[in-house]
Copies of this chain bind each other. A is one copy, B any other.
Amino acid sequence: MRNDRNVADVSELLRVGSGVDLGAIDPAGTPGLPDRKAVRRDPKGWARAELVMLGEELARQQEMLFASAKVNPADQRRVLLVLQAMDCGGKDGTVKKVAGTMNPEGLRITAFGPPTAEERRHDFLWRIRRALPLPGYLGIFNRSHYEDVLVVRVRELASPRVWKPRYEMINTFERELVDSGFSLVKVMLHISYDEQRRRLLERLRDPTKYWKYNPDDVDNRAYWPAYQQAYQDVLRRCGTDHAPWHVVPADRKWYRDWAVAHLILDALKRLDLSYPPAAFDPKSETKRLEREETGSASKMNGR
């Protein structure tokens, strides 16, 4: 198991801010992967094996987060993973592989599609607020409020007068979340134009993947440079100190899962969680149970 310093290191390496140049980040890169012989020999095998261990630690941290909120209603801490990516960027795969290591009962996963008629009658953050995780939970947004400055901007679903002020509105909203106990983990899964094409072709070759294929995705490829520009603006304008963005190179799925697991684990470890102490006296409770009449069991079972 890698130590805490490594977990924080990966997080540090992937963090981006106002100066980011998205075009300079290699979607096939593997930043933070240890430079050891065993890793170089079989990086994929190594990363997949480590994901199992990271998953066990994620599950333990998640349980402590859940337990803390359950025992202490004043504890407002919770974690929210925001996943953004181009089509085929691997959002669903990441949820399956990384969230799949945790207890599903403590997860609150929401996939945001085009807004419904009801959602369109409210401001763009309305549906987001309704999907926020309660204290103790780990929330995951598969797409998010960022679509309102990505697809909305690129496909001109609203005028600049509408979407331009949203960067600041998002920063204010996220500040409010952080102040009320949220740890935000914002992740852009970064794939290349070529990798998207490979994945689209893969979906066309496999009938069990047809349902994931949408002809619009191919039309959308013409807007690739505009999307990259819109993403870069998101990273630059909303990569704040209280809620930084991370760019995870995602052409290699095994690296992507390994890296996202690190990012969530880093956020959980920063909370310095522990199992809450007993709010009762374990000794006297044990005595109460041991004092129960022998023979009461068969009586109680009515047999």
A residues adjacent to B (C-beta < 8 A): 23-24, 67-68, 70-71, 92, 95-96, 99-100, 102-105, 107, 109, 111, 142, 192-194, 197, 200-201, 204-205, 207-208, 210-213, 215, 218, 221, 224-225, 228, 275-280, 282, 285-286, 288-290, 292, 296-297, 300-303
User: What is the oligomeric copy number?
Assistant: 2
Whether B275 and A228, one on each chain, are in contact in the complex, defined by CB atoms closer than 8 angstroms, is: no
Q: Which residues of B contact A282 (CB under 8 A)?
A: 204, 210
Whether B200 and A289, one on each chain, are in contact in the complex, defined by CB atoms closer than 8 angstroms, is: yes
Decide yes or no: A211 and B280 within 8 Å by CB, A197-B289, A301-B192 being known contacts: no
Q: Which residues of B contact A197 (CB under 8 A)?
A: 289, 292, 297
Whose C-beta in chain B lies nearest to the C-beta of A194? B297
Q: Which residues of B contact A70 (CB under 8 A)?
A: 211
Q: How far is the CB of A202 from chain B (nearest CB, A)?
A: 11
A278 to B285, CA, bound (A): 61
A111 to B280, CA, bound (A): 24
Q: How far is the CB of A277 from chain B (nearest CB, A)?
A: 7
